[in-house]
Amino acid sequence: MDQSPVCPQWRDDDELFALCRAGLFSAVIGDVMDLMGHTEQFLSPHIQPLDAGMVVVGRAMPVLEADDCGGEGPGRVNDLFNRPFGLMLRALDDLKKNEVYVCTGASPDYALWGELMSTCARNRGAAGAVVDGYSRDTRGIVELGFPVFSYGRYAKDQRPRGKVIDFRCTIRMGGVTVKPGDILFGDLDGVCVVPREIEKEVIEAAWKKAHGEKRVFEAIKRGMGAQEAWDTFGIL
C-alpha cells in the first residue's frame, strides 16, 4: 500500500512556488516528466546558478534577443533598432510578480544580464533570470540575492552587440520550447521547464517521488541493497 505523503494543495502561485522551494528539486521534477514522456525539458547544462545556493522557481516571461552591431541610429529602417537595447527596458518594466526573465536568441559572446537589471526585476517582484548566455556584475548580483542562471561570468556589454526584439513570445532554448506562463525550476543541478498544461500533475507526482526517495535513502543507509530497494519502493 502506498503510504507516501499526500502533496499539499495550493491556492495560488505564491503557495505553489513556496511548496516547490520547500520540497522539490530539479532532478525529481525532471524524472517525473521523463516518465510522462516529456523527455527534453532541461535547458542546456551550461546554464548554471551564479551561486550554488540559488534556486529559481516562477512563471516564464520569455524574451527574444538578436545580435545587432548596426548601432542605435537614428536612421535605422526598423525603429526598434534606433532604441538602446531594443525592447529590453520595456521587457524589464513589464515583469510581474513571480515571473522569470528567460532570454535566448543571441550569440554567446556578451552578457545578457547584470546587477541593474537584477535590481529592476526584483523591484517588480520577479523570481529570477535565466539567460542563454553570460551575465556580469556577479558580486553585486550575489549580494543582492537575486537568482540568476547563466553560462557564467563575462563583463562584455550587450548594448553595442545585441537588442531585445520581442518578449512574452514562445521561444526555443537549447531545443526546449518555453511559452509564457510555463514554470521554470532551477537549482545547482540545472533548469527544467514544466509546461503549464501539465504543471499540476508534475508537481504532485514530484512531491510524492521526493518524499518516497527520503524513505529509500533511509533504507539504503541502514544497509538495504540497490535491487531490494528498487523492488520494495520502485525508486532509486
Do residues 49 and 74 both lie within one domain?
yes
* Sole residue written with cell 516528466: 33
What is the share, in percent, of the chain residues with pLDDT greater than 90?
A: 81
Domain assignment present for residue 83? The answer is: yes
Per the CB < 8 A criterion, the answer to whether 196 and 62 are in contact is no
Do residues 121 and 211 both lie within one domain?
no
Can you tell me the mean pLDDT for 56-66? 98
Do residues 161 and 229 both lie within one domain?
no
Domain assignment present for residue 90? The answer is: yes
pLDDT digit string, tens, across residues 170-211: 999 989 999 999 999 999 999 999 999 999 999 999 998 887
Domain assignment present for residue 17? The answer is: no
Counted domains in the chain = 2
Domain assignment present for residue 35? The answer is: no
Of the candidates 50, 59, 21, the one whose C-alpha atom is nearest the C-alpha of residue 149 is: 50
Q: At what angle do helices 199-221 and 13-23 cross, to 10 degrees?
A: 20
What is the share, in percent, of the chain residues with pLDDT greater than 70?
A: 87
The predicted pLDDT at position 73 comes to 84
| 4 has pLDDT over 90 | no
Evaluate the omega torsion of the peptide bond into residue 74 and state whether it is cis, within 30 degrees of 0. Answer: yes
Domain assignment present for residue 21? The answer is: no
Do residues 166 and 62 both lie within one domain?
yes
Per the CB < 8 A criterion, the answer to whether 26 and 189 are in contact is yes
The predicted pLDDT at position 217 comes to 57
Do residues 209 and 157 both lie within one domain?
no
Do residues 72 and 164 both lie within one domain?
yes
Which CATH number covers residue 117?
Answer: 3.50.30.40
The predicted pLDDT at position 1 comes to 41
Structural domain boundaries, residue 210: 200-233
Do residues 217 and 116 both lie within one domain?
no
Domain assignment present for residue 187? The answer is: yes
Strand partners, 161: none
Can you tell me the mean pLDDT for 138-147? 98
Cα–Cα dist 26/136, whole Å:
25
Query: Average model confidence (pLDDT) for the chain?
Result: 92
C-alpha separations of 88 from 82, 113, 153, 226 in Å: 13, 10, 20, 51
Do residues 153 and 67 both lie within one domain?
yes
| 110 has pLDDT over 90 | yes
Of 30-34, 38-42, 78-82, 95-99, the least confident:
78-82
Do residues 160 and 223 both lie within one domain?
no
| 233 has pLDDT over 80 | no
DSSP 24-69: --HHHHHHHHHHTT----BPPTT-EESSTT--EEEEEEEEEEEE--
pTM: 0.90
Domain assignment present for residue 31? The answer is: no
